Structure 1
């Protein structure tokens, strides 16, 4: 006697495993999207903090050495935040890997 294929239990188990895999992949994509959005928000908030504190004499990243000094005279252009200033954004491994894609 020869069998014509796998038993019904095995087919059901395979179908259940495939459904579980597809569900897990959907959840992972949703989590990846949520993480990317959160990291973009952190990057934006970090940039606004660095921009707002650049003229005030200091911030938590650069220090407050210039806080007590009088403001510079003239139309001095405020410095743009560099990647080195972005302590929180640069600490995320997933954000750094998304930049290289």
Structure 2
């Protein structure tokens, strides 16, 4: 299963348009700094969200572990609501450094 993030917002069309205009590389859960980052271009990153609760921290860790299992493959989807027929934007992304940042040890 490919891990990913789904963003629900009334501003989904505007967010999707903005993301289309940047060179979106991948999404990264920076567990040490408790942040969710959008990596764009060669040397730019944007703070997407702060990880504030233990539940969010666990979700970020599972997201990063999922990326490690899929060799960095993940997705980002933006849509108005869970009931929307289709997303306003969808990106299939690859974090080439995900395996190097693995946060878990596979069972022996």
**TM-score range for the pair, normalised by the shorter chain length:** under 0.3
RCO comparison, higher one (Cα < 8 Å, 6+): 2
Structure having the larger proportion of residues in strand? 2
TM-score using structure 2 length: 0.23
TM-score using structure 1 length: 0.24
Structure having the larger proportion of residues in helix? 1
Question: Which structure is larger by alpha-carbon Rg, 1 or 2?
Answer: 1
